[in-house]
Amino acid sequence: MKVLLDENLPHDLRHHLVGHEAFTVTYMRWSGAKNGELLRLAADAGFDALLTMDDGVAYQQNVATLPLAVVILSAPSNDIGDLLPLLPRLLACLGNLTPRTTTRVH
């Protein structure tokens, strides 16, 4: 699965997404793109999922119109140490994602 990490996630998280192609917004040179534009860019580039900590994406964007899924990570902070405990649930989620949906991983 081709996964895009939003700017609010640490770059090192991509190393822990074993079995997936993970890229960051910065790597893709999309820094500063607003949510709607970012989702369109990701969809056009063939991404299967956007990982973010931005809970607003679920309310501000109509994900059902795009051929990708959005995964919202809920952790105390975006520190890698706070995100790693979510990894087993995140990897399971990525293995079962449905396009055009929003999923929360706690």
Query: Each residue of 33-50: pLDDT tens digit?
Result: 998 999 999 999 999 999
Q: pLDDT tens, 59-79?
A: 888 889 999 999 999 999 999
Could you tell me the residue range of the domain that residue 27 belongs to? 2-105
Q: Does an H or E element contain 50, and which?
A: strand 49-52
Residue closest to 52 by CA, chosen among 89, 99, 10, 97? 10
Type of residue numbered 65:
T
Q: Which residues of 9-39 are buried (b: 16+ CB within 10 A; e: fewer)?
A: bbeebbebbeebebbbbeebebeebebeebb
Q: Is the pTM of this model over 0.75?
A: yes
Domain count, the chain: 1
